[in-house]
């Protein structure tokens, strides 16, 4: 089965720090996604990528950037972390961009910004 691995389960950072969240998938999927999950708000799409070096903004891209230098790896970057970015971050991938495709998720990174 597809495995999506997020490098850290828990992360604590200070306000103003640059933060990198890493995600790796092992099944040659074209598409990768970053969501943040907050209670009562569900999952909100931050950025996605449909190919190496390609990226598209999701619904809440402000304060974030992404990098996809290799097909299997998709990084989320918080240029200057703020307390309102404390959240659970979920990475996902899908085989292609078809609308009926399911997403495969990592276990998530719980980020706390102090």
Partner 1 sequence: AQSVTQLGSHVSVSEGALVLLRCNYSSSVPPYLFWYVQYPNQGLQLLLKYTSAATLVKGINGFEAEFKKSETSFHLTKPSAHMSDAAEYFCAVSRNTGGFKTIFGAGTRLFVKA
Binding site for partner 1 (CB under 8 A): 4, 33, 35, 40-45, 48, 50, 56, 58-59, 90, 92, 97-103, 105-108
Q: How far is the CB of 111 from partner 1 (least distance, A)?
A: 15
Q: How far is the CB of 19 from partner 1 (least distance, A)?
A: 20
Instruction: Give the whole-angstrom CA distance, residue 85 versus residue 78.
Output: 9
If the CB atoms of residues 51 and 79 are measured against partner 1, the closer one turns out to be: 51
Q: What is the dihedral of CA 6, 65, 18, 20, to 10 degrees?
A: 10
Instruction: Give the whole-angstrom CA distance, residue 16 versus residue 25.
Output: 29
Q: How far is the CB of 105 from partner 1 (least distance, A)?
A: 3
């Amino acid at each position: 089965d597809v495995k999506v691995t997020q490098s850290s389960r828990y992360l604590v950072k200070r306000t103003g720090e640059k933060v990198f969240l890493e995600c790796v998938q092992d099944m040659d999927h074209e598409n990768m996604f970053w969501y943040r999950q907050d209670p009562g708000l569900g999952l909100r799409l931050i950025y996605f990528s449909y190919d190496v070096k390609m990226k598209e903004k999701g619904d809440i891209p402000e304060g974030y950037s992404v990098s996809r230098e290799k097909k299997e790896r998709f990084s989320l970057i918080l240029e200057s972390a703020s307390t309102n970015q404390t959240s659970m971050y979920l990475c996902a991938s899908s085989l292609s961009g078809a609308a009926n495709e399911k997403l495969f998720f990592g276990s998530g990174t719980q980020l706390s910004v102090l």
